[in-house]
Structure 1
Amino acid sequence: MTDQSVFIQQGLWARLGLPKELCWGFVGIFLFITGATIEQSWLASMLQHRGFDAVHISLLSSVFGLCVAAVSWFSGIGAGVLGLRRLMWAATLLYFIGSVPFIGYALPQGNYPLMVASYALRGVAYPLFSYSFLVWINQRCEPGILGRAVSWFWIAFGVGMTIVGPWYSSLMLPRIGETSTLLSGFAFVALGAFCALVLNRDRPQWQRGGHLGAAFAEGILVLVREPKMRLAVIVKTINDIGKFSLVILMPVYLPRFGFSIAEWLTIWGLVNVVNIFANYFFGWLGDTIGWRNTVVWFSGTLCGLAMLAVCYAPVLFGDSETALFLALALYAIGLGAFGPLSALIPSLLPENKGAAISCLNLGSGLSNFVGPLIVTLCVSPFGVEGTLWVIAGLYFAASLLTVPLRLPEATGH
């Protein structure tokens, strides 16, 4: 192959924003996330049928989310000390260590304390694995394609968690039951790790070294020193609160209007197909008009309006699958507009990208905690409708909070 043909081939991949060296890594993220989060769209419904109330269900999700947040933050600051591949192998091991007691004993016996502990341990696997790979993307890609590159990451992440996982579950649950469906996730996780860490032969450039304690201290100090980083964490936290709230609220809310759980799972998977296209479109738009501008004008505005639409579509139209789909599709589009945050936040501190990525990952992880926590705090006093109004208000606030997140002059975008 001539140098010119290599240039043309690499140029095509570059224009798509998909680094050729990391293609197997993206496949691995998709497979790993599918297996590691296979239960997220139906676990609340299953626990409700087994006699657990909404408070216990949301508390389980909140503890899970708090652990996810802590590990997400660690994946950013630990990368430069322990190495990205080492963190991703550790994540794979943690998934199996947590899953065996959760599926094999805690769920069948209804042992709530063990359920909380083992589910939290199982839960830290997917952020450690996936957000370590997000660090890898940020170090590999040039700024001109970074918005599109991170959009591919969120596409792989979202397809696994919100499309293939729910659709696969809707097919398998009636046929093989809950326990076997959970166990089948083992195959997805193992195959995902194989693709991302064996078939993917790229080697991260981030140099290992230094002390973990110093990295921890720097990760904390950057939040103290940099007001933009504190705002960035808040905005990134709000990013996914709807997603982690809806999977708890909708299986409880929608049956009042005649929807079945199978219908909810099908619609939830279908609208996230829309999110695939939205993610890439807003990644391209961010690279074109600016990452901050894209988030300010489209993300929180669309998501906030969507939460209100989700609230009132069943009230106004009953069990209309079309109305519910359109409301949730608007949310999926707005969620895609948050994608450029994954390029914007690390670029706010070009001299200390590791600490900035730890802030990005902290916000991503906190969504897992804050979403269920909002349900825990709001659903009793305000009901499902009031809780959706609270979430909508937070989304509108996110757009305003993004306004001060201006990049250093030399960075652009």
Structure 2
Amino acid sequence: MMMGMPVSLFWGYIAIALFMIGDGLELNFLSKYIVTLGFAEKKVSLIFAAYGLTAAISSWLSGVLAETFGAKKIMMVGAITWIVFHAAFMLFGVIPHNYYMMLLFYGLRGFAYPLFFYAFFYWVVKETPDSQLASAVGWIWSMFTIGFGILGNLLPIYSVRYFGEINTLWQSIGWATAGGAIAFFLLKAPVIEKKNHQIHSFEHKFKGIIQDLSLVFYNRDLAIALITRAICNFSLFGILAVVMPIFYTSEHGGHFTDEQWKIISLSIYPIQPFTNVLWGIIGDRIGWLKQMRWAGFIGCGTATILLYFIPVWFPGNIWASICGILFFALTITAFVPMGAIFPMLTPEHKGAAVSIQNLGGGLSNFGGPALVSLILFTGLGHFSVFIIFGFLYYCAAIMTYFIRLKQPGVDKPF
């Protein structure tokens, strides 16, 4: 271990960063760009909701698939699938301005990234001592943030300006391919793992997958943790990705230009590689649930509501909005220990526990945009979106009191 990172998996962390650049390259302009093609905001949010739904399904399967067939194989399936469906999204959806093809292929692309990312997530959980698990998971989210957040947002600022949205979206394939290549050539699966995956038939493996995935229906703590896991990234995928690019550049919002919005959205990410690791280390010491309850859910709920009021109170003030989004970044990274909690709730079924945790992440992908769509379709405006999301975070904080957990190294149940 090197500062909580499993050294043997170093190249996997690098692969995650590169792959997630490709997956995040569109984050701060795609929703606004599709609107400029002539489609209503509520229809655009449905595209992101479809993506989130397939990501949720794939996330649920990824952990047990990695446990059953090997993490490296599942990562490769994810990389190839991502490249194929992104190309189809561009060729049949974006370029000809075909809404239904965008909905179809962007939705199908949602199956891909969880297979790559969460298979590696399982691999890290399997190779890391329990007492250092939050720290190792913190490193995963730091690499995710460097790729999906920092570089995925920084590169389009220049790329869109000089090459346009279409060429910027095509660049994603190069980054995803680079991440997949590093994982394929430089990550070595343990010899024992390779042998184990040759023992049982596919039918036996499939039965094991179904049995493991059903754990959430019999374990109360897992079920509550799943709900809180879904809520923790609602604002990231619903508000930051769908609502804010439109609201912050509107006359009713921040009055910012597209370039100013990109700078604001980028500012969320530079501190996250550090806060992800820091919150992982802190959580290992003070308690995972305690940290997530107060710094995570209470903090992020407050930050979400402030993201609406700051540009209203200080229209056109880029520094005020940057301060608001930095507070959001600090609080949302406090959820890092979530990835350590699930395996501890059912240590004899770590693959299934990681899959359920991953399902929660996928439900964030789906639930955030879907809830935005529901709120907008009912005629409520942006104000209601931010308030409702903030309220959900406060509800999740209360729910953490009902999760029974004994954390390694912190000798008391929560």
TM over 0.5: yes
Which residue of 200, 204, 211 corresponds with 1:218? 211
Name the structure 2 match of 1:231.
224
Of 42, 48, 56, the match for 1:69: 56
Correspondence for 2:167 among 159, 180, 187: 180
CA pair 411-230 structure 1, distance change in 2 beyond 3 A: farther
Alignment pair present for 1:28 and 2:26: no
Q: Is the 8 A contact 1:84 1:204 kept in 2?
A: no
Match of 1:5 in 2: none
Provide the C-alpha distance between the structure 1 equivalents of 2:407 and 2:73, rounded to a whole number of angstroms: 35
Alignment TM-score, normalising by the size of structure 1: 0.93
The number of residue pairs the alignment matches comes to 400
Q: How far apart in 2 are the matches of 1:37 and 1:165?
A: 5
1:62 and 1:372 in contact (8 A); partners too: yes
The one-letter code of the counterpart of 1:231 is: I
Is 2:197 aligned against 1:203? no
> How far is the alpha carbon of 1:410 from its aligned partner?
7.0
Whether the aligned pair in 2 keeps the contact of 1:78 and 1:212 (CA below 8 Å) is no
Match in the other structure for 2:137: 150
Instruction: Quickly say closer, same or farther: Cα 1:249–1:409, change in 2 above 3 A.
Output: closer
Pair 1:248 & 2:245 matched: no
1:43-192 counterparts in 2 under 5 A? Answer: 43-192=30-179
Aligned mates of 2:374, 2:231 — CA distance in 1:
16
Residue 47 of structure 1 aligns to a residue in which SS? Answer: helix
Q: 1:22 to 1:409 in 2, by over 3 A?
A: closer
* Matches of 2:14 and 2:188, distance apart in 1: 13
Matched residues in 1 for 2:268 and 2:178: separation? 26
Greater per-residue helix proportion: 1
Aligned counterparts of 2:89 and 2:154: Cα–Cα separation in 1? 23
Match of 2:335 in 1: 338
1:44-71 deviation line (CA, Å, top 9, x unaligned): 0000100010121011111110000000
> 1:316 maps to what in 2?
313
Structure 2: give runs of 5+ residues left out of the alignment: none
How far apart are the structure 2 equivalents of 1:226 and 1:146?
Answer: 22
- Classify 1:325/1:409 alpha carbon distance in 2 versus 1 (closer, same or farther; 3 Å): closer
The answer to whether structure 1 residue 403 and structure 2 residue 401 are counterparts is yes
1:157 deviation in Å?
0.8
Change in Cα spacing, 1:403 to 1:60, as seen in structure 2 (3 Å) is: same
Check the 8 A contact 2:131/2:409 in 1, yes or no: no
* Residue 126 (structure 1) shift: 1.1
Deviation of 1:199 (Å)? 1.6
The alignment's C-alpha RMSD in Å is: 1.7
Q: CA offsets, 1:230-268, max 9 Å, x none?
A: 111111101111011122111211122320122112221
Q: What is aligned with 2:275?
A: 278
Q: Residue 388 of structure 2 corresponds to which residue in structure 1?
A: 390
Deviation at 1:347, TM superposition (A): 1.1
Paired AA for residue 216 in structure 1: I
CA–CA distance in structure 1, aligned partners of residues 184 and 139 of structure 2: 18
Q: Which amino acid aligns with 2:38?
A: G
Give the SS at the match of 1:314: helix
- Select between 400-409 and 87-96 the one with higher mean Cα deviation: 400-409
Shift of 1:342: 0.5
Q: What is the percentage of aligned positions where both structures have the same residue?
A: 29
CA contact (8 A) 1:167 1:269 kept: yes
- Determine helix, strand or coil for the equivalent of 2:25: coil
Mapped contact 1:248–1:372 kept (Cα < 8 A):
yes
Q: CA deviation at 1:390?
A: 0.4
Is the CA contact (8 Å cut-off) linking 1:136 and 1:204 kept in structure 2?
no
* Structure 1 residue 221: Cα displacement: 2.0
TM-score by length of 2: 0.93
Q: Any stretches of 5+ residues in structure 1 without a counterpart?
A: 1-9
Deviation at 1:382? Answer: 2.2
1:342 partner amino acid: G
